[in-house]
Amino acid sequence: MSQYLSGQSASDVKANDEDYQIFQTMIQRVLEQEIAPNFEHWEEAGQVPRSLWNTLGEAGLLGVDMPEEYGGASASFEICQLVIEELSRQGFGGVCGGYNIHANIVMPYLLHIGNEKQKDYWLPKMIDGSVLGAIAMTEPGAGSDLAAMRTTAERTDSGWKINGSKIFITNGLLADMVIVCAKTDPSAGAKGISLFLVDTNTPGFSRGKGIKKIGQHSSDTAELFFDDLHVPHDALLGEENLGFVYLMQELPRERLGVASQALGAMEGALQLTLNYVQERKAFKQRIADFQNTRFKLAEVKAQMELGRAYFDQCMAKYSRGEMTATDAAVLKLMLSEMQCQTINECLQLFGGYGYTTEYPISRFYVDARIQTIYAGTSEIMKEVIARSLLGK
């Protein structure tokens, strides 16, 4: 599976503590060798090189929980979350966003919904990094309101003709394959959406310039365009007009990925802060010796422990197939808001240095802001939770 696993067979990897530690060590080693030396340059460039995904594939970090028959490690899905968390903990938020889309969202869509031909064709390439995946839902006039989607897919004798555009698509500039959400029955609202596997080399597919963001700079984000783009009939993922059902079906895992990012980032930010307050002095004492500092750190730690407990509960539910949309909404709301709040408290303890790009805490701060927006805004999460309590 990987040059970093020291010969351990992928079939032996289970979700026990020993194997978890093996994977964690391997993941940390890959990140230290392949990402850490280059990350600052990628942030300045606003994009990771395409070769990074080949490197991560060779290292065995893509598709760790995919079946061995497709080239995966057949590890538990917890290991995929571990990769996300470790990327985030080390402050590689831009890479983490792209990884989450590729390995934690697009691959499971294929595995759970795709037919054997689709899985045989796409998954091995995604696992070795020769194909980078993206998913295209959001449109300029339709974010959380998928029923307002305007991209259409019209059935033809030779396949489907797709027209429309998408925006804020992570991996959009580099993706080789995109799962495109389109209306196949424009009169049916959310019940008329279908999903399509689109090879980005197909005529009629084009990309806009990379979108500049306040955070996660190395995560390329783009607008995509479809102009009479023709795909074959077998590009349909799952059944026609069931796209919205599939999107809802996969939301729990998507929001677990957001929570993994939040937990990793909070741990990374807290460690940076602990190091700083024990070294920096003011009024002839360490900042760590002020009661306010100690109490703020205690509050951050307490929140993190509560967040971790609910995250673990949701992970257990997901593994049993029992995690609901409401569970996912509560988790996403709580952890993303908590991430922003706790990292804000950490940055405050750096004083003026926290506002400079010289100190990594500032990156944790700006990278966190998107967490309450993508994968469903906090406001939408509250609406989902409220509906479960009160009904529609």
Q: Where are the domains of the chain?
A: 8-131, 135-241, 248-390
Fold designation for 248-390: Butyryl-CoA Dehydrogenase, subunit A; domain 3 (1.20.140)
Q: How many CB atoms lie within 10 A of CB 366?
A: 17
Q: What is the pLDDT of residues 246-255, one digit of tens each?
A: 999 999 999 9
- Of 348, 370, 377, 378, the C-alpha closest to 361 is 348
pTM, to two decimals:
0.92
pLDDT of residue 11: 33
pLDDT of residue 6: 32
Given a cut of 70, the residues of the chain with pLDDT beneath it are: 1-16, 392
> Annotated catalytic residue: which of 239, 254, 267, 345?
254
Please give the radius of gyration of the chain, using alpha carbons only, rounded to the nearest integer.
21
The encoded tokens of residue 61 equal 């970090």
Give first-to-last CA distance, the chain, whole Å: 48
Q: What is the pLDDT of residues 77-105, one digit of tens each?
A: 999 999 999 999 999 999 999 999 999 99
Per the annotation, the verdict on 267 as an active-site residue is no
> Would you say the CATH fold of 135-241 matches that of 8-131?
no
pLDDT of residue 148: 85
pLDDT of residue 85: 97
Cα–Cα distance, 98 to 325 (Å, whole number): 23
Fold designation for 135-241: Butyryl-CoA Dehydrogenase, subunit A; domain 2 (2.40.110)
pLDDT of residue 5: 34
pLDDT of residue 19: 74
* The pairing of beta strand 205-210 with beta strand 221-231: antiparallel
**Does the 8-131 domain belong in CATH 1.10.3720.10?**
no
